[in-house]
Amino acid sequence: MSEPYDKGQSPGQEHTGWLGMALEMLKDVSVVIHASVIQVRGSAPRAVGANMLITADNIWDTIGGGALEFEVMQQARSDIDMIHVSQVAWHRRVMDIALGPDMGQCCGGHVRVLIEALTIADTPILRMLAASDQPLLHPLASGQPLALADSELGDKGAIITADKTGFILPQRPYQRPLFIYGAGHVGRALVPVIDGLGFDVYWVDIAPDRFPAVVPKGVSDVIAIDPTLIAAHAPIDAFHLVITHSHALDQAICHTVLAGEGFARLGLIGSKTKNARFRSRLGKAGITDDVLARLTCPIGIELVTGKQPARVAISIAAQLAIWQQELDNEGEIS
């Protein structure tokens, strides 16, 4: 069985999008297949826009696993063999798959998967497109190269749409900013656990020696004598997790976020007593009740109990996933 392509990276470890990874893979092989879910009807393992890369020996990312992914991988590798012989340019085809009758999967839905070949001869064009970091138009028919999508279609991380002639996909999924304040025991346990959730992680603490010797790939360690300055300049779509060594610093960060221009979610580690005291103090400091209601404390899910850092980290990670899901259901990007 093939192993996921690592080369020192995996989905969630780096901010590398699928095209950047395809270019890395083309340093070792002559053909990479890019498989994208372009349409879903009914229940399916992944949503429209899920994609993966396939070579003769490796894969990167996933379109949902199971029988569907196995069949797509088999078909992709047949296409690789064909391309080695025919040398066809910009080979593409669309697989129409009924998950129940065709795959024997309980999902019972129907998916369309675009199979497109990227070859070593295409690398000059691919490099140019990758440098733009803009959404790409994927024709559904063979022979036409990838191209930049119309810039008026929206945010580069939000476009996933298909029609009868082409499919538009961002080069990398949207990554919500996540600010984690505190690199103590819980912070060190948490950061590796959330790898793969798709956040742009900023890990903030007051001194270099607060961080581990090796910070995980894809995580930006931010040294700030006053972390409230970081909180004050965070984008309005950010999640904030406050887990520092100091109650006074926790309160200052929470006040900065709550009194600022906007935020997506704010979580604070602590007991019910700490929660009550902080709400009282923040209220006296001018934070209104409706804004205070957006503070989640204690952070984490109640079903996971215990104070060991690993358990706390798992509980907080679950809370983050719930927040992502809530924003998905509200129609926002997560």
CATH topology of domain 176-329: Rossmann fold (3.40.50)
- Percentage of the chain with pLDDT > 90? 70
Q: Which of 5-14, 149-158, 252-261, 317-326 has the lowest mean pLDDT?
A: 5-14
What is the mean pLDDT of the segment spanning 130-157?
81
pLDDT of residue 133: 85
Q: Which residues contact 1 (CB under 8 A, 6 or more apart)?
A: none
On the question of pLDDT at 8 being above 50, the answer is no
Q: Which structure tokens are listed for 46?
A: 């992944």
Question: Going by DSSP bridges, is the β-strand pair 295-296/265-268 parallel, antiparallel, or unpaired?
Answer: parallel
H-run or E-run covering 225 = none
Over residues 318-326, the mean pLDDT reads 95
- Taking 70 as the threshold, does the pLDDT of residue 113 lie above it? yes
Cα radius of gyration (the chain):
23
pLDDT interval class at 183 (50, 70, 90): very high
Q: Where in the chain is the domain with CATH 3.40.50.720?
A: 176-329
Omega before 4 within 30 of 0, i.e. cis: no
